[in-house]
Amino acid sequence: MLTGICFVIGGLALAALDQLIKVWATTYLLPVGSMPLIPGFIELRYVLNDGMAFSLLSGRRWLLIGVTGVVLLAVAIALIVHKMPRLERIVWMLVLGGGLGNLIDRVRTGVVVDYLNFQFIDFPVFNFADICVCTGVGLLVLSLLLDLRKERRAAASAPAQSEQNDADA
């Protein structure tokens, strides 16, 4: 339980960091619009997004707030109550922190502040909270694929092990 609480606090710290970066972006990027970070590769561009990823559900503020709030509450409870491997806790801490960072924006202003823009591909502008959520989901998918691979290997070796045991008897 204490470990889970520590990971929830970690998620809160990620959300706080996200909010600090967004305050910086609003203070320094809003007046200029954009500035290069790595010229020709990535720029800092101030954008407001009233939807979720790729502007999906744009204009559905209260739906996004409600669904996100319920999911994040479930994640926080799961982190505290359920036993899980460390990688899984990291995954859910990242999702909690990123989701909470964007939820705070939606509740406070109705829009999410985005500021990272890749210039070499056509991709939506995003933020630190988005990075946290996507990294968490990516690690979850990787973890599930590795678990599936381990299960398949174990299942494949089980008949061979059984045949070896029969031969030894």
The single residue listed with the structure tokens 């109550």 is 81
Tokens for 128, please give them: 């630190």
What residues act catalytically? 114, 130
The dihedral over CA atoms of 122, 126, 132, 138, expressed in degrees to the nearest 10, equals -20
Sign of CA dihedral 28, 30, 35, 40: positive
What angle (nearest 5°) sits at the alpha carbon of residue 145, between those of residues 140 and 151? 125
